[in-house]
Each structure stands twice: as structure tokens, then as C-alpha cells.
Amino acid sequence: MAETRRLFFALTLPDKIQSEIISWRATHFPYAAGKPVARANLHLTLAFLGDISVEKQRALCQLAGRIRQSAFNLCLDDAGQWLRSGVIWVGPRHAPRGLLQLADMLRAQAARSGCYQAAMPFHPHITLYRQATQAVALPAPGFSWSFRPTEFALYASSFKQGRTHYQVLEKWPCLEQ
């Protein structure tokens, strides 16, 4: 059988924002809220591709390289919990148009290439905890991190020795106008 990898497109977060979110998480959530996502694994998923072959990966990378996405500002000022999937997240209260366009393009390219795309609407978020199936009190509004994403990336996800590892395989810039 052809070798496949579990891949997804995501926005990378600047190191500084990753560190600030981790510090904030440590002081604003109960210790046992769920399984915390490691600092280096914080990302904003744009399109999930599933387990795909090297050929399909190459084709999707070519298509991604043709995207000309203008840069946009992203303000992370909202948090929530999805009890069914056990996810606690932070994300933008108002998703910038550029972010929605980028996710739409990547998801449409993925769908056309045969990668199943869930019918659920895109809800941009950064997962902070997984396996958070008991409701927790969310931090009061007032927090926010703003930045200008400079790139999006193709990530490979693997699960080894009880841990999820993400590896950035390729990156593309968001273009300044």
C-alpha cells in the first residue's frame, strides 16, 4: 500500500504569542481542565487533509504555492469549549476576511483533490486543551493577542509514545500589499 501521512494546513503562531498564551493558560484554567497542547504545537488549522499520499501532497503543495493571499491582522480575543470534541480554544471574535479567504481556498483545493472536507463551517481557533470533556469556567473577556500572520504551512501530524508531534513540511508567505 502507498505510504501516507496525516497532513493539514495551518497558520503558524509567532514564538512570542505562543509563550504568552501558554503563560496565560497556566493562570486562567484549572489544572485538570484537559490535556494541554504543547507550546510548539499551538497552531490555527486552516484545512485538514487526512492521510494522503506523497503524490497528492505534492499536488496540494503546488496549488498552495499559487495562492496569493494578502496579509491580514488577527486578534485572538475569544475563548470557548466544545464539550463534544473536548476542545478548549482561543480564537478571533471577528475572523478577518483574509483568514476566511485563505481557509476557503485551501479547503476548496483539498476537496477538489479528493480530501474529504467536513460540512461544518470553518471556526478559526487555536486548540489549548484536548480531552476537556467536563465544562470549565472560561476566563473573563479582556484578554487579546494581535499579530500579523506572515505565513501558512503544511504540517504533518504523528502520534508517538503517547504524544502528538507536528512537523512543518513547507511554508508559504502571506503577502504584504
Note the residues at the interface with ligand 3AM (CB under 6 A). 8, 45, 48, 87, 118, 125, 127, 157
Residue of 87, 98, 91 whose CA lies nearest to 77? 91
Report the residue number, 1 or 120, with the smaller CB distance to ligand 3AM. 120
Catalytic residues: 43, 125
Report the residue number, 161 or 177, with the smaller CB distance to ligand 3AM. 161
Report the residue number, 68 or 133, with the smaller CB distance to ligand 3AM. 133
Closest distance of CB 131 from ligand 3AM, Å: 12
d(CA 13, CA 36): 17
Report the residue number, 4 or 175, with the smaller CB distance to ligand 3AM. 4
DSSP H helical ranges for 8-164:
15-28, 54-65, 97-112
Asked whether the CA dihedral 75, 164, 157, 171 is positive or negative, the reply is: positive
d(CA 8, CA 88): 20
d(CA 4, CA 6): 7
44 SS3 class: strand
Closest distance of CB 164 from ligand 3AM, Å: 8
Q: Which three cell numbers stand for residue 3?
A: 505510504
Residues 6+ apart with CB under 8 A from 154: 7, 8, 9, 57, 60, 61, 64, 168, 169, 170, 171
